Chain A
């Protein structure tokens, strides 16, 4: 029996953002934009979806008079990511279950 893939994570940009945030403690919006080669508008929308799902925390602050958005994966986000990877592995290797 295949596990259902989390629809929040099963999207290219959101999955890319989560994979990046899993690898670091926290990252600025500009880091995510640069690594994913996405537009600011689309990235902003996808970050809000991840935030609404409780998978990431978003902090807005000012640094040297410039606005700064810092994203950090939450415990719920880590659990969802791990479950997603396990589900993916079961899809790709059904005999290994």
Chain B
């Protein structure tokens, strides 16, 4: 950048402001890895649960335990990514609290589900999935997540009138539309940006 202090024209100033705000916005681009991992897990666990009930077999362990094992690498990669970043965004604190609250609610709902029976809590899980997804999509103006959140809520309502096996298919659809697909879109955007910067 020009090192002297030559005054700028109005147009040049506006162009510079827009260029820098655009560069800062580009830095916000997420790789979407956490979203993809979480989405894929929900899809796999839901489909395997559905298959176990539908085809009457047992894996011999609770497949949903995978979700809790997945939290450890998720936290590790989040911390690593945060350490590598050289800026803090305006909404990061809000997002951190939102997703922590979501994690805590999932844990409470899991305990509740074990107490009252998993069959009764699928609708509540899907309702819960919709909240951080919809808010994150809205805050970052990322339409796939806004739609993902709305789909979760729609399926949550639908699951109140369907048997447990169908609920598991709905749950897989939630994982797909709320996290897996938005995560893939994020990853593609990140790759596109990387190729632009080369």
Contact with A along B1-20 (1 / 0, CB 8 A): 11101111011011011011
Does A16 lie within 8 Å of B16, measured CB to CB? yes
For A39, the closest partner residue in chain B by CB is B3
User: Which residues of A sit under 8 angstroms from B1, Cβ to Cβ?
Assistant: 12-13, 16, 36-38
Does B3 lie within 8 Å of A13, measured CB to CB? yes
Does A35 lie within 8 Å of B8, measured CB to CB? no
Q: Once the chains are docked, how many angstroms separate the CA of A24 from the CA of B93?
A: 12
Q: Once the chains are docked, how many angstroms separate the CA of A10 from the CA of B87?
A: 24
Asked if A27 lies at the interface with its beta carbon under 8 angstroms from chain B, I say yes
User: Which residues of B sit under 8 angstroms from A85, Cβ to Cβ?
Assistant: 17
User: Which residues of A sit under 8 angstroms from B16, Cβ to Cβ?
Assistant: 12, 15-16, 19
Give the contacts of B1-44 with A (CB-CB under 8 A). 1-3, 5-8, 10-11, 13-14, 16-17, 19-21, 23-25, 27
Does A15 lie within 8 Å of B86, measured CB to CB? no
Decide yes or no: A10 and B24 within 8 Å by CB, A27-B88, A37-B1 being known contacts: no
User: A15 to chain B: closest CB distance in Å?
Assistant: 6
User: A30 to chain B: closest CB distance in Å?
Assistant: 5
User: Which residues of A sit under 8 angstroms from B2, Cβ to Cβ?
Assistant: 12-13
Does B3 lie within 8 Å of A10, measured CB to CB? no
Q: Give how many B residues have a beta carbon under 8 Å from the other chain's beta carbons.
A: 27
Total A-B contacts with CB atoms under 8 angstroms apart: 81
Contact with B along A19-35 (1 / 0, CB 8 A): 11011111110110011
User: Which residues of A sit under 8 angstroms from B10, Cβ to Cβ?
Assistant: 88, 91-92
Decide yes or no: A26 and B88 within 8 Å by CB, A12-B8, A16-B20, A19-B20 being known contacts: yes
Asked if A11 lies at the interface with its beta carbon under 8 angstroms from chain B, I say yes
User: Which residues of B sit under 8 angstroms from A39, Cβ to Cβ?
Assistant: 3
Which bracket fits the contact residues of A? 20 to 34
> CB within 8 A of B20: which of A23, A25, A92?
A23
User: Which residues of B sit under 8 angstroms from A11, Cβ to Cβ?
Assistant: 5, 7-8
Contact with B along A80-93 (1 / 0, CB 8 A): 00000100100110
Does B86 lie within 8 Å of A10, measured CB to CB? no
User: A64 to chain B: closest CB distance in Å?
Assistant: 9
> CB within 8 A of B87: which of A13, A15, A28, A91?
A28
User: Which residues of A sit under 8 angstroms from B20, Cβ to Cβ?
Assistant: 15-16, 19-20, 23, 35-36
Decide yes or no: A88 and B86 within 8 Å by CB, A13-B2, A19-B20, A42-B3 being known contacts: no
Q: Once the chains are docked, how many angstroms separate the CA of A39 from the CA of B2?
A: 10
* Most chain A C-beta atoms within 10 Å of own C-beta, residue among B27, B87, B92: B87
- In the assembled complex, 13 residue pairs joining A and B whose CB atoms fall closer than 8 Å, in A order, are A10-B7, A11-B5, A11-B8, A13-B2, A15-B13, A15-B20, A19-B24, A23-B20, A24-B24, A25-B92, A27-B87, A28-B87, A35-B20
